Chain A
Amino acid sequence: MTSVVNEFTINVATVNGSGSASSNTIVAKSIFRMGVMVSPKNLFPSNIAGLPTWYLVRVSEKQYLARSGTVELLVALNPATAAEDIRGVEPGGVLFIDEDLPQAADVGRDDLAVFTVPFAKLAKDFAPDVRLRKLLANMVYVGVLTEMLGLDLDVVMQVIADQFSNKEKVVKLNRQVVEAGIAYAREHFDKKRCPYRVEARDDTRGKILIDGNQAAALGALMGGCTFAAWYPITPSSSLCETFIDFCKQYRVDKDTGEHRYAVVQAEDELASLGQVLGAGWAGARSMTATSGPGISLMGEFAGFGYYAEIPGVVFDIQRTGPSTGLPTRTQQGDIRQCAGLSHGDTQHILLIPAGPEELYEYGQKAFDLAERYQTPVFVMSDLDQGMNLMISERLPYPEKAFDRGKVIASKEAMEAFLKKQKEFGRYKDVDGDGVPYRTVPGVRHPAAPYFTRGSGHNEKANYTEREDDYIRNVDRLKRKIAGSVAHTPKPRVVGDLDADVGIIHYGSTRFAVTEARHRLAAEGVKMRSMRIRAVPLHEEVVEFVRSCKVIYVAEQNRDGQMADLIKLRVPECAAKIQSVLYYGGLPMAAQPIYDAVKSSVKEHVHA
């Protein structure tokens, strides 16, 4: 049997609350430390304990980090899903299964290499306590996989120590169970029947393994966020929780105990954004993190922030629509909602990161943009990248100072301003870019104070209901937001730059698009690929669409939300824009994109 090296997916099927998270992380991290590209994805239910969970570990020397859509090795620990899980294994795959579970033959799979493991029994020797035994049973499969895949034992042992923060007793116990798993596999299993191997490489040197919410939280820390208000909601909670952890570590004065941050767990998302805008108005860099349902509640304040011109950052870790049901499944379903969130004419700046490097970068940049354009800025992440570990370049220490925008933050600054300008008007377009100057409460100059309102104000922030004042103001706001393209990240174009076929995508769909594009290119289908990284759309998007014969827009929602925004921007090209959609709630895989393009590209291009 030929062995398959560094190119396969392991699925660990278990129930949530069983403590498998540590074991899963240990397997993924060990492969990462062996220098091999790996992409773990946790598919979990909205539940605390007892419902099915799958942990996919894709090992890919080709550096494909999307969900593969296939399973080559299954660790079956969940009786409730065992039959279906077994049916999902690729022909010729490998099954590690608990002895008490339905067996492969029972579900008609005689083509699998089956290894029956007495998980519970092996753990039993190490833990009289039932709860602990359950946890340790997970470490048995770490041992079995270590032996069967050829993981570096020293690496695994070190990862275990790191995972349990070097707590001696815990580390020792877990190592013993892993060793028992290894010993069992060595004694009972014929390794030749398992063709899958991990071989050490040098592909992850200098890289880190981090999840998107952590990367974004680190961005917020380095970006100078001092105030956060949030309401717990999966999959965004860990962003704020990580931010709090970082602040406790780096923003507490060792001598006085004083905090250089404030975090408030709000009563709901309405209050979260209200607090964020209150803090932003008063001059602090502020943020909230939420998901779709929270965004809906924030609608009213988002519009107020837009009209009153108050900075604030909203991280939207997107998931599927209304609960209950699929709140722990990923989607890119809030694009349209966020682009125009609120009542009345409203337009927002969206930053759309793909991967930890950009989550970290935009996590900082969002605060610069919010202050530069004095408006709420949305960072559009999603569950897939928010909650799953991803391999990332080592994140760079920021060299640039904060861009606080046109803020007059002191009496002296106001005096300097008034030397150049006749007067200060809070909503006056002094520079012709639609961006006014703002003051913050506490500035001790008679020109500085102003009255903040929603829609009815003139250039000097006085109350007005005059049509000319209103129109002038909202037209300026439109110019202001349109002008943000000068500072937002431009789209990235890769692939065959002369190709007539274009594919547009954004966010976490990136990884699946890359893989699909490579597969199609190998079959002679050449494509230009554009990744959008911000809304409003840049002129480059218009040019790209105009210059392609056919454009696929790949995204993770039902209605083709980004495609709609593109069609509105380039209506004359609407007919050649075709959506490639996946919205089942799992992380996007390459296959749907490959299939859609493959099946339709010929008729389009040759028509």
Chain B
Amino acid sequence: MPEAKNRIGLDKEAYKGSKSTLCVGCGHDQITREIIEAAYESGIDPYNVVKTSGIGCSSKTPAYFISAGYAINSVHGRMPSVATGANCANKHLVTIGVSGDGDTAAIGMGQFCHVVRRNVDMVYIVENNGVYGLTKGQFSATSEMGSRKKDGEINDFAMMDLCTLALDLGCSFVARSFSGDSKQMTALIRAAISHRGLALIDCISPCVTFNNLPDSTKSFQWLRDHNISLHEVGFVAPYDAQQVEQQPGKTLSVPLPDGSNIRLTALTEQHDPTDIEAARKVLEKDRGDREHVYTGLIYCNPQSRPLDEVLHLGDVPLARMGEKELRPEKKAFEALLDGYC
């Protein structure tokens, strides 16, 4: 049987990367597989992929997917700035940023806020495990207050919620997910790639080594028991052979500018992610309800204005321009100098 190929004629192998060196069972490796699946299904040209990251376990993962893409494993907490520059240089690149809760919510908090507020056209995945893994188990800023570590230490400080923060900063796509929910994550990543603007996916991704006690709110067991999907997330693009099943009255369709659709099928009550008030309510409920975590597409504004539009960047990338486009002609130059006489 010939291997399946996607719309640009590539098989899934073309989206894989080198072997992971993370701990066996790490949630991040599941996200890596979900990124591979999403990129494959959406038929992204690997040569156009730019993988950006900072420092930490999560930031190592760009090595484990899409080796045929370009990657920059930059500086701790500073991935957003590097991604911003790369995006301005060539807006046609598909930028997939991978970060962690230390990288984003602590050392990189400033850059995170500003990349959101600038609405850089990129996917921003936070692989959120509430703990510093690479430095062996310190609490992070997304740890819940009262959370208990393996050695018994209790976290005394309030948790930062990146989704709430992002929404407040005008983020145009806010999702929360769980690395173990591959179907939801894959659909969200596909939607995030199609979205024009910054798409944040705060994905809870358990650390099997340092933060996986059953009572930790970032553990596999806890997530399996307490994760409530807001809806079933489906993604369908014009080129997709298989359509997402739509249930009348229960399925909400969010069309994206590239012709694709996010299909959200209600499980209990309907959540409309294009309604910012509804998004706020979901996040409030999430914070108020310590017993559960709500996952899915919390907010999406498909008509937002990404940075490249604000900057009036045209089709020819800045990176491809030469003397002809960039130097004023001699006559104009001399006229300019005349102003300094």
Interface size band for A: 35 or more
With A304-B74, A449-B47 given, is the CB distance from A264 to B322 under 8 Å? no
* Shortest Cβ distance from residue B261 to the other chain A in the assembled complex, whole angstroms: 28
Mark A270-289 against chain B: 1 for CB-CB distance below 8 A, else 0: 11111111111111101000
Chain A residue nearest to B315 (CB atoms) is: A258
Decide: A259 and B337 in contact? CB cutoff 8 A. Answer: no
With A283-B320, A442-B48 given, is the CB distance from A453 to B92 under 8 Å? no
Is A401 part of the binding interface, using a Cβ–Cβ cutoff of 8 Å? yes
Is B78 part of the binding interface, using a Cβ–Cβ cutoff of 8 Å? yes
Decide: B327 and A224 in contact? CB cutoff 8 A. Answer: yes
* Shortest Cβ distance from residue B106 to the other chain A in the assembled complex, whole angstroms: 14
Interface size band for B: 35 or more
With A262-B318, A397-B333 given, is the CB distance from A283 to B90 under 8 Å? yes
Decide: B340 and A210 in contact? CB cutoff 8 A. Answer: yes
- With beta carbons under 8 angstroms apart, the residue of A278, A280, A409, A444 that contacts B84 is A278
Decide: A277 and B110 in contact? CB cutoff 8 A. Answer: no
Q: Is the interface of B mostly helix, strand, loop or mixed?
A: helix
Of A208, A221, A279, A445, which is in contact with the most chain B CB atoms at under 10 Å from its CB? Answer: A279
Is A398 part of the binding interface, using a Cβ–Cβ cutoff of 8 Å? yes
Q: Which residues of B contact A207 (CB under 8 A)?
A: 341
Mark B111-132 against chain A: 1 for CB-CB distance below 8 A, else 0: 1011000100000000000000
Decide: A397 and B330 in contact? CB cutoff 8 A. Answer: yes
Q: How many Å lie between the Cα of A257 and that of B311 in the bound state?
A: 10
Decide: A227 and B46 in contact? CB cutoff 8 A. Answer: no
Is B43 part of the binding interface, using a Cβ–Cβ cutoff of 8 Å? no
Q: How many Å lie between the Cα of A446 and that of B69 in the bound state?
A: 9
Is B334 part of the binding interface, using a Cβ–Cβ cutoff of 8 Å? yes
Q: How many Å lie between the Cα of A300 and that of B81 in the bound state?
A: 13
Query: Of B27-35, B60-68, B206-214, B295-303, which binds chain A?
Result: B60-68
Decide: B326 and A224 in contact? CB cutoff 8 A. Answer: yes
Of B69, B84, B313, B330, which is in contact with the most chain A CB atoms at under 10 Å from its CB? Answer: B84
Is A388 part of the binding interface, using a Cβ–Cβ cutoff of 8 Å? no
Decide: A274 and B72 in contact? CB cutoff 8 A. Answer: no
Decide: B88 and A268 in contact? CB cutoff 8 A. Answer: no
Mark A304-326 against chain B: 1 for CB-CB distance below 8 A, else 0: 10001000000000000000000
Of B93, B327, B337, which is in contact with the most chain A CB atoms at under 10 Å from its CB? Answer: B327
With A274-B111, A282-B85, A282-B90 given, is the CB distance from A262 to B311 under 8 Å? yes
Decide: A262 and B93 in contact? CB cutoff 8 A. Answer: no
Of B88, B113, B325, B334, which is in contact with the most chain A CB atoms at under 10 Å from its CB? Answer: B88
Is A240 part of the binding interface, using a Cβ–Cβ cutoff of 8 Å? no
Decide: B88 and A442 in contact? CB cutoff 8 A. Answer: no
Is A586 part of the binding interface, using a Cβ–Cβ cutoff of 8 Å? no
Q: How many Å lie between the Cα of A286 and that of B63 in the bound state?
A: 26
Is B332 part of the binding interface, using a Cβ–Cβ cutoff of 8 Å? yes
With A267-B110, A278-B84 given, is the CB distance from A442 to B322 under 8 Å? no
Question: Can you sample 29 A-B contacts with CB below 8 Å?
Answer: A208-B337, A214-B340, A224-B327, A227-B89, A246-B336, A250-B328, A259-B311, A259-B312, A260-B321, A260-B326, A264-B307, A267-B114, A270-B81, A271-B80, A271-B84, A271-B111, A274-B78, A278-B83, A278-B85, A282-B86, A282-B87, A284-B85, A284-B317, A284-B319, A402-B322, A441-B50, A442-B90, A449-B46, A450-B71
Q: A284-B88, A442-B47 are in contact. List 7 more A-B contacts (CB 8 A).
A: A224-B323, A251-B326, A260-B314, A273-B81, A276-B85, A284-B85, A394-B337
List B residues at the A interface (Cβ < 8 Å): 45-48, 50, 52, 62-63, 67-75, 78, 80-90, 92-93, 110-111, 113-114, 118, 307, 311-314, 317-323, 325-328, 330, 332-334, 336-337, 340-341
